[in-house]
């Protein structure tokens, strides 16, 4: 599967990226960065450093530095000032290039229509700009799988909203209404997929760069938290792309509130149906993620 990873690394983004780089089922054609958990310079640099962990040669393309509307949000309290919880990664092997939307347009016009899937781990700013300003290129997407939103769970960016949708609610609303095949993975599912400190022993024992780094990143996710387990939000996107049988999805018609509760999902029958993941076999998901992180990478 040809994929572009749109991301704001971010601890859980980082684990997802390390998994994707080693997954034989993915042809990672680019990583596009976006501001989210932290600012754009950091998210872009973190993407480059994650590639260096695996010695992977994938273009990193710098994207939007803020939301389409509003101030944006930051998750520095969870991911740390560097976005990676202070986990030291190797220096980048290459430089990032500008800019994500232009890159996506050129890339999508060059690839067979329907052949490229976006794995979206962050606020949807880059994708909304693509949909709004370049609809012909956007329509050539095979689909989008995005981590974001909440249906029944309390939010993590206010009582009703999840961070990725709340950080750029207008962008999220544009993408949910754009009519490209979209699967949304909300907190209802990602909060069921959790790692405990005990789970990290297997990763450390494997000794591959991806597994060792993922263990350090997940451990950093526990810093400052009294919880016994932490949710692995963004890796769910990679897992749903490669192993959809692990998830259960329901069709829903939704818009995103851009008013009083930015990022809140609201039923709207005028909208195109999207798939929303509502169930996960968490044990199968962890086994698949761990096996991928522990696999030696040859790229
Ligand atoms: C999402 O917000 C970010 O903090 C995580 O990286 C994830 O993409 C979870 O709400
Ligand atoms: Ca993210």
Domain span at 14: 2-293
pTM of this prediction exceeds 0.95: yes
- Pairwise CA distance, residues 141 & 4, whole Å: 10
User: Is the preceding omega at residue 243 within 30 degrees of 0, hence cis?
Assistant: no
**Ligand 1 center–CA 110 separation, angstroms:** 31
Q: Which atom of ligand 1 is nearest to the CA of 37?
A: 4
Flag whether 184 is in a domain.
yes
Does residue 113 contact residue 25 with C-beta atoms inside 8 Å? Answer: no
Flag whether 299 is in a domain.
no
Query: Per the structure, how many domains does the chain have?
Result: 1
ipTM value > 0.85: yes
Flag whether 15 is in a domain.
yes
Q: How many CA atoms lie within 13 A of 270 on its CB side?
A: 4
Residues in contact with ligand 1 by the CB-under-6-Å rule are 10, 12-13, 37, 75, 121-122, 147, 156, 162-164, 233-234
Flag whether 111 is in a domain.
yes
Flag whether 298 is in a domain.
no
The DSSP code for 262 is: T
Q: What is the token pair recorded at 90?
A: 């190797």
Flag whether 158 is in a domain.
yes
The domain spanning residue 25 has which CATH number?
A: 3.90.245.10
Flag whether 26 is in a domain.
yes
Per-residue confidence in pLDDT tens, the chain, 299 aa = 999 999 999 999 999 999 999 999 999 999 999 999 999 999 999 999 999 999 999 999 999 999 998 887 878 878 788 889 999 999 999 999 999 999 999 999 999 999 999 999 999 999 999 999 999 999 999 999 999 999 999 999 999 999 999 999 999 999 999 999 999 999 999 999 999 989 999 999 998 999 999 999 999 988 767 778 899 999 999 999 999 999 999 999 999 999 999 999 999 999 999 999 999 999 999 999 999 999 875 54
Flag whether 45 is in a domain.
yes
> For this structure, is 233 an active site residue?
yes
């Amino acid at each position: 599967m040809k994929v572009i990873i749109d991301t704001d690394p971010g601890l859980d983004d980082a684990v997802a990226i390390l998994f994707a780089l080693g997954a034989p089922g993915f042809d990672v054609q680019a990583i596009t960065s976006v501001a989210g958990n932290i600012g754009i310079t950091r998210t872009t640099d973190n993407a480059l450093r994650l590639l260096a962990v695996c010695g992977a040669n994938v273009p990193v393309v710098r994207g939007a530095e803020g939301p389409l509307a509003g101030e944006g949000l930051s998750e520095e309290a969870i991911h740390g000032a560097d976005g990676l919880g202070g986990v030291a990664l190797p220096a980048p092997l290459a430089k990032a290039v500008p800019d994500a939307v232009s890159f996506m347009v050129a890339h999508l016009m060059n690839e067979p229509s329907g052949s490229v899937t976006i794995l979206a781990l962050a606020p949807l700013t880059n994708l909304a700009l693509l949909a709004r300003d370049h609809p012909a290129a956007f329509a050539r997407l095979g689909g989008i799988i995005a981590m974001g939103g909440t249906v029944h769970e309390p939010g993590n960016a206010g009582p009703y909203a999840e961070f990725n949708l709340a950080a750029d609610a207008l962008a999220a609303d544009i993408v949910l209404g754009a009519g490209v095949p979209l699967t949304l993975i909300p907190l209802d599912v990602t909060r069921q997929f959790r790692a405990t400190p005990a789970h990290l022993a297997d990763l450390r024992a494997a000794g591959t760069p991806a597994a060792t780094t993922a263990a350090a990143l997940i451990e950093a996710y526990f810093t400052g938290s009294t919880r016994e387990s932490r949710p692995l939000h963004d890796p769910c996107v990679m897992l749903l792309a490669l192993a959809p049988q692990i998830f259960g999805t329901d069709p829903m018609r939704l818009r995103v509130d851009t008013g009083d509760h930015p990022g809140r999902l609201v039923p709207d029958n005028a909208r195109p149906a999207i798939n929303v993941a509502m169930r996960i076999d968490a044990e199968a998901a962890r086994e698949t993620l761990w096996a991928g992180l522990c696999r030696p990478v040859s790229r």
